Amino acid sequence: MAPSQTSLTHWGAFTATVRAGDIASVRPWAGDADPSPALANLPGSVRHRSRITTPAVRRGWLDDGPGPTTRRGADEFVAVTWDELVSLLGDELRRVAHDHGNEAIYGGSYGWSSAGRLHHAQSQVHRFLNCIGGYTYSRHSYSLGATGVIMPRVVGTHDDLFKRSTQWDVIVENTDLLVCFGGLALKNTAVNDGGTTAHPARHALNRFRDRGGRIVSFSPLRDDVEGPCDWYAPVPGTDVAIMLALAHVLATEDLADRRFLATYCTGYDRFERYLLGLDDGTPKSPQWAASLCGLTAEELTALARRMAAGRTLVTVSWSLQRTRHGEQAPWMAMTLAAMLGQIGLPGGGFGHGYGSMNEAGLAPIRCALPRLPQGINPVSTFIPVAAVSDMLLHPGEPFDYNGLRLTYPDIRLVYWAGGNPFHHHQNLPRLRRALCRPDTVVVHDPYWTAMAKHADIVVPSTTFAERDDLSGSRNDPLLMAMPRLTEPYAQARDDYDTFTALARHLGVEDVFTEGRTSWQWLRHIYEKWMATLDFEVPTFDEFWAAGQVRLPTDDGLTLLADFRADPAAHRLATPSGKIEIFSAEIDGFGYDDCRGHPRWFEPTEWLGGRRAADYPLHLVANQPANRLHSQLDGGAASQSSKVAGREPIRMNPHDAHERGVTAGDVVRVYNDRGACLAGVVLDDGVRRRVVQLSTGAWFDPADPADLDSMCVHGNPNVLTDDVGTSSLAHGCTGAHVLVQVEKYTAEPPAVRAHQPPVLAPR
Ligand SMILES: Nc1nc2c(c(=O)[nH]1)N[C@H]1C(S)=C(S)[C@@H](COP(=O)(O)OP(=O)(O)OC[C@H]3O[C@@H](n4cnc5c(=O)[nH]c(N)nc54)[C@H](O)[C@@H]3O)O[C@H]1N2
Ligand SMILES: Nc1nc2c(c(=O)[nH]1)N[C@H]1C(S)=C(S)[C@@H](COP(=O)(O)OP(=O)(O)OC[C@H]3O[C@@H](n4cnc5c(=O)[nH]c(N)nc54)[C@H](O)[C@@H]3O)O[C@H]1N2
Ligand SMILES: [Mo]
């Protein structure tokens, strides 16, 4: 095994030195001008104390058999052999499928797992479950739950908004004004699904400024834009009101491009009646918006005029749609951009996800990616992904989704590989109750996350560093070899090998493996992919020896340029073939929380509402700068940001002072759903009455047997509301929540999040 090897994570490529079965150090990939600080989480990650060393079964499940229980998360575990694990789990899958049907297996298994096309955990688990008769699946993502449903109805696509976004070079050369709702957080551009080998955003913004470009940022956090910008910090959650006010100025000052609206859009007239208040008596004027958002009418009016005076790109971060009524922000921003009439012109129009993910602004590769075929799922039952607790708590009950009336299935077995619901889901006390309901919970993970601790059957997975794989990302020109860096730790196995053993136990080994080892699969998916290409790439052996292959990209793209150039030849995949400012279909669904055109809905969690009397601080639960989600929270980069051992909460000094709190204090953050401890950082770049606590600290209940226990480590999802964006999309709404903060005066309990649970020998 070579002591120094190149590989890749979702947050960047690197060369690692390997010592004593672990990553000893990493050096960023030479081609990466702006590597992620999260690379520093990798050294020591293979043999970290939070690794799962052995197959394990929860004591209560082993003694009493499957069934609903409140003991999940509180019981001890019993170490079992791999043979025992395979027969216990295989028999349980057979029992559930036989007695209740495959619909009773929830295999959505949402989560990012690791980069690597073959060992991608979700692909593996889906392929396996398809081989045994299928599973209830999930749709869309926590990232883009609202966008994924609304934008196909508005512009006929959501993927292409990111994959074929207006590229940085085009912005640098053409844009005068970037108006960014949710800022342009460079910390988030560290990451790309599937891996990323370059981080051009910071450099692009510098070049943009050098050319005279200006940035306007609407955000509760000043550092959502690094460097000079016009920073507006409105009341969080009022962006749609602000966009309406800007639109109102365009409409009433003859600044709207009516020719663009007539040619490329449908339904502007209906929307304009609402905008002008013709039916409800409330014009959505700057004065109206000012009373909601806390900015002045003059500021909004001046900005609207400025936007109409040059080449303007309106961008919306993904966070704006991860909140109740999250459909409205991207829809309204698209409408505002349409009124400016610059959609499809270089550097103008609409953008979604600059500063959310690295891919926005990057050139797409000119081919699909190699992939592990997942087979066909014979079960058609699904849920919108963020409805997982609703599903488990309400079997047999109907719910609305995107014009459909669906029914929650009766789930008996929950199967998770490659995700961490205790990271991603809202209202963790409610999730814990939901996880009491099924007969059996199965988790594959390399680490003892809170989800693994809540499982009945725990399967130790390898990390990407312990197996051979290849990368691939739709907006990254390099496909990289990801050679095994070291031996599998303790008894960890590749998910592929676990599923192969289970498939053998269940009599479908040939169907699952098609007779291939994982190394043979790697070659196979590369060669199958190669055969589909209309350009030359090296053979698999050449690729593996070289360590990478560079793929051709589509350069110089402007979003929707084709449509603008020829709207008949490039009809959008919407009912009208145009941008739907008014959607007759959505209107026809009759939902009271998402109507026929974008509009202002009063948020549920915001400083302007009644709830703020009890919980007067607006908590922004954004993405962590020093890690990806909950991954490698025990690593050096993540640990270096902790305060008093807890996740840092940033507060405005005034708000801290009012509470007798100072930097370095441990505070209790709470509302009526739950509470957590966090360590205080003071920052006047945080808007007053806003606090920021990123996601990703591993959930750590003070008393694991108490379903309502406080988290002593600082996971904001003990506080967030588990409610969908609307009846249309039912997307995740974890971005915002109202809280109160108080100094924690007792001795703070020790953080045990990264300790394994009690593990008894068989
Ligand atoms: N409050 C709030 N909540 C949020 C958000 C928010 O903004 N606010 N953001 C949401 C968003 S956008 C997202 S995408 C989600 C992210 O939620 P997740 O994707 O669930 O979070 P991760 O921490 O990436 O979880 C991945 C898990 O996979 C494991 N893993 C890694 N490699 C392997 C492997 O090879 N095999 C197996 N079996 N496991 C592996 C890791 O150890 C880790 O436990 O969180 C969501 N939650
Ligand atoms: N370093 C790092 N990067 C990541 C990730 C990570 O875990 N770590 N996760 C990746 C994933 S899976 C995803 S989906 C993306 C998510 O990308 P986003 O959802 O865009 O990311 P966030 O950090 O939640 O939000 C960006 C900023 O929006 C601001 N904001 C929040 N709510 C509002 C609002 O109502 N109005 C306004 N104007 N601003 C608001 C916040 O100040 C926040 O810092 O990030 C990706 N990038
Ligand atoms: Mo995400």
Q: Which residues pair with 6 in a beta bridge?
A: 15
The per-residue pLDDT for range 255-290, each reduced to its tens digit, is 999 999 999 999 999 999 999 999 999 999 999 999
Paired tokens of 494: 């590749």
Average pLDDT over residues 600-619: 97
The per-residue pLDDT for range 697-737, each reduced to its tens digit, is 999 999 999 999 999 999 999 999 999 999 999 999 999 99
pLDDT of 5 above 70: yes
Which of 11, 61, 106, 112 is flagged as catalytic?
112
Chain position carrying tokens 């908004």: 161
Pocket lining: 190 vs ligand 2, CB cutoff 6 Å: yes
Average pLDDT over residues 237-242: 98
Predicted confidence at residue 762, as pLDDT, reads 83
pTM, whole model, 2 decimals?
0.98
Q: Which atom of ligand 2 is nearest to the CA of 629?
A: 7
Pocket lining: 237 vs ligand 2, CB cutoff 6 Å: yes
| Cα distance between residue 392 and residue 441, in whole Å | 12
- The answer to whether 424 is a known ligand-binding residue is yes
The number of angstroms, rounded, from the C-alpha of 6 to the middle of its chain's C-alpha atoms is: 26
pLDDT of 391 above 60: yes
The answer to whether the beta carbons of residues 494 and 462 sit under 8 Å apart is yes
Q: Which atom of ligand 2 is nearest to the CA of 236?
A: 35
Q: Which atom of ligand 1 is nearest to the CA of 628?
A: 24
Residue 392 CB partners (closer than 8 Å, separation 6+): 106, 411, 414, 434, 435, 437, 438
Is 112 catalytic? The answer is: yes
Alpha helices in 379-517 (DSSP H): 388-393, 421-424, 428-434, 450-453, 495-505, 509-513
Cα–Cα–Cα angle for 224, 226, 230, rounded to 5 degrees: 75
Is 698 catalytic? The answer is: no
- The answer to whether 495 is a known ligand-binding residue is yes
The per-residue pLDDT for range 633-684, each reduced to its tens digit, is 999 999 999 999 999 999 999 999 999 999 999 999 999 999 999 999 999 9
Of 242, 50, 4, residue with least CA distance to 631: 50
Of 341, 245, 330, 338, residue with least CA distance to 288: 245
Q: Which atom of ligand 1 is nearest to the CA of 114?
A: 32
| Cα distance between residue 226 and residue 219, in whole Å | 12
Ligand whose nearest atom lies closest to the CA of 690: 2
SS3 682: strand
Pocket lining: 322 vs ligand 2, CB cutoff 6 Å: yes
| Cα distance between residue 481 and residue 472, in whole Å | 9
pLDDT of 2 above 60: no
The per-residue pLDDT for range 298-348, each reduced to its tens digit, is 999 999 999 999 999 999 999 999 999 999 999 999 999 999 999 999 999
Pocket lining: 624 vs ligand 2, CB cutoff 6 Å: yes
- The answer to whether 322 is a known ligand-binding residue is yes
* CA 267 – ligand 3 centroid, Å: 32
Predicted confidence at residue 3, as pLDDT, reads 64
Q: Which residues line ligand 1 (CB under 6 A)?
A: 111-114, 119, 121, 142-143, 322, 417-420, 423-424, 444-447, 449, 461, 463, 495, 621, 628-631, 695, 716-717, 720, 732, 734-735
- The answer to whether 174 is a known ligand-binding residue is no
- The answer to whether 112 is a known ligand-binding residue is yes
| Cα distance between residue 595 and residue 263, in whole Å | 23
In whole angstroms, how far apart are CA 185 and each of 147, 217, 361, 552?
19, 10, 14, 28
Ligand whose nearest atom lies closest to the CA of 111: 1
Phi, psi of 758 (to 5 degrees): -65, 130
Pocket lining: 650 vs ligand 2, CB cutoff 6 Å: no
Domains of the chain with CATH codes: 58-142+384-463+489-518 (3.40.50.740), 149-365+556-589 (3.40.228.10), 610-743 (2.40.40.20)
Ligand whose nearest atom lies closest to the CA of 188: 2
The per-residue pLDDT for range 19-44, each reduced to its tens digit, is 999 999 999 999 999 999 999 999 99
pLDDT of 415 above 80: yes
The per-residue pLDDT for range 122-149, each reduced to its tens digit, is 999 999 999 999 999 999 999 999 999 9
Which of 11, 29, 106, 110 is flagged as catalytic?
110
pLDDT of 1 above 80: no
Q: Taking the CB of residue 359, how many other CB atoms lie within 10 A of it? A: 23
Q: Which residues pair with 691 in a beta bridge?
A: 619, 651
Residue nearest to atom 16 of ligand 2 (CA): 356
| Cα distance between residue 573 and residue 592, in whole Å | 25
Average model confidence (pLDDT) across the chain: 98
The per-residue pLDDT for range 353-383, each reduced to its tens digit, is 999 999 999 999 999 999 999 999 999 999 9
Of 335, 358, 321, residue with least CA distance to 182: 321
Predicted confidence at residue 635, as pLDDT, reads 98
- The answer to whether 51 is a known ligand-binding residue is no
Residue 650 CB partners (closer than 8 Å, separation 6+): 221, 681, 682, 683, 686, 691, 692, 693
Residue nearest to atom 12 of ligand 1 (CA): 143
Average pLDDT over residues 573-583: 98
